[in-house]
Structure 1
Amino acid sequence: MHVDRWIPHMTARRQMRPTDVKRLNRTWRRNTEQRLGLIVESVTGPFNVGSIFRTAAAFGVEHVWLAGNATPPTNPKAQKTALGTDRLVTWSEPLPAADAVQAAKDEGLAVIAVELTGDALPLHESPLAGDVCLVVGGEDHGCSPALLEAADGVCYIPQVGRVGSFNVAVAAAIALAEARRQGWTAP
C-alpha cells in the first residue's frame, strides 16, 4: 500500500473504548450473512486448540467439528489460550475425519481443506465467499488422506519466505480471515 492512500487525520488517534468495540463488532455481525464452520483434525497441541477456538469465536464460526485425535477445548492448557471463548462456539467431540466432513456438508457447508496438495488453489483464488467449512490438520502431518478425499476442495496459503509452513493456529486464522474478507466483499 502506498503512503499517499492514507488520508491525513487532524485529531489524535486513540484506541477504542470497550463500548465502542462492542458497537463496531455488532455492526459487522449485522452485515455478515456468510456461514462459517471449521474442522480441526488431529490438532493435539492444547495451546494451538485454544488459539483456534479463540480465532473461531472472533470470526463468528458457527460450529467446530473436532476430528481424529484432536484435543478438546476443555483441556486446561487449551483453556489458557482460549480464555473462555470456547463457550461462544458450538463444537463436537472428535469424530472420524469423513464423518466430520459429512456433518459439515449436512449443515449445507462446502468443505475446503487448507493443505498443500497438487490440485490446491491459492487461498486468495479459492471460492470462499459462500457458506464454507474450512479444515486444518494436525501439526506434523496436516490433513489425513481420508479427509482430503472427502473434502470438496483444497487451498493453500502462499508463502514467499524461506519457511515451508505456518503454525496450525496461525494457518486457521489466516484462512478464516480470508473467508470472511471474501464474504464481506462479494457482490
Structure 2
Amino acid sequence: MSTPNPRRQLKPTDVKRLNRTWRRNTEGRLALILESVTGPFNIGSIFRTAAAFGVETIWLAGNATPPSNPKAQKTALGTDRLVEWHEPVPVAEAVRAAREDGFRVVAVELTGDAVPLHEAKLGGDVCLVLGSEDHGCSPACLEAADSVAYIPQVGRVGSVNVAVAAAISMAEARRQEWASAAG
C-alpha cells in the first residue's frame, strides 16, 4: 500500500479542513483602519487579504475608496461581503470607533518612536491602521493611535505598496498570536 504524496496540492475539502483548524486556534480579533487609501486595486486587494486573515471590521477613513467601487471589485472578488466595513469618516472618529469596539490601535508607519513590526505587541484584539499610498498615516492618525510600528526593509527601496504592507502586517499579527499559543 502506498502513502499519498505529502507534497501534492491539497484538494478543496482538505483546504477547508486545514483552515477550520487554524480558525479554531485563533482567538484574537483583528481589524483595520484604511486612511485615505484611494487606489481601487489596493482596496480590493486589502479586502481580499483581510477576508483570508479573518479581519472582523474595516473602517474607512478620510477619502478612502469603498470596496463597492467597480475597479476594487476586480481584485476583491466579492470578499468585501465577508468583512464588515464602514463608510469613510474622519480618522479620529474611526480610531474612536475601533477603541469603543475593544481594539488597541496600532498605526503602521515610519516615525521616530515606531518599533519594528515583529517587536510590536500585536496580540489580542488589535486594529492596524494603514495610510494613503502617497503620504502614509496623517499626523491626526498618528496622534490618535495607541502605538506605531514599521515594517523593516533591507533593500534599496524605502517603502512597499500599501496592500503589501497591509498583508505583511495582518500576517505578523496572526503569526504572533499563533506563536504565543504554541509556546
TM-score (norm 1): 0.93
- Partner of 1:91, secondary structure, is strand
Equivalent residue in structure 2 for 1:166, among 117, 135, 160: 160
- Partner of 1:176, secondary structure, is helix
Deviation at 1:31, TM superposition (A): 1.1
Tell me the alpha carbon deviations over residues 101-144 of structure 1, each in whole angstroms, 9 at most, x when there is no partner.
00000011000000000000000000001210000000000001
Equivalent residue in structure 1 for 2:63, among 44, 65, 69: 69
State the one-letter code of the partner of 1:121: V
Structure 1: 5+ residue stretches without partners: 1-8
Structure 2: 5+ residue stretches without partners: none
Match of 2:53?
59
Question: 2:180 aligned with 1:186, yes or no?
Answer: yes
Match of 2:118?
124
Deviation at 1:30, TM superposition (A): 1.0
State the one-letter code of the partner of 1:89: V
Equivalent residue in structure 2 for 1:155, among 141, 149, 158: 149
Deviation at 1:169, TM superposition (A): 0.1
- Partner of 1:62, secondary structure, is strand
Deviation at 1:13, TM superposition (A): 1.8
Aligned length: 179
CA distance in 2, matches of 1:55, 1:11: 29
Give identity over the alignment, percent: 77
State the one-letter code of the partner of 1:109: F
CA distance in 2, matches of 1:149, 1:77: 32
- Could you list the structure 1 runs, at least 4 aligned residues long, displaced by more than 4 angstroms after superposition: none
Cα RMSD between the aligned structures?
1.2
State the one-letter code of the partner of 2:100: D
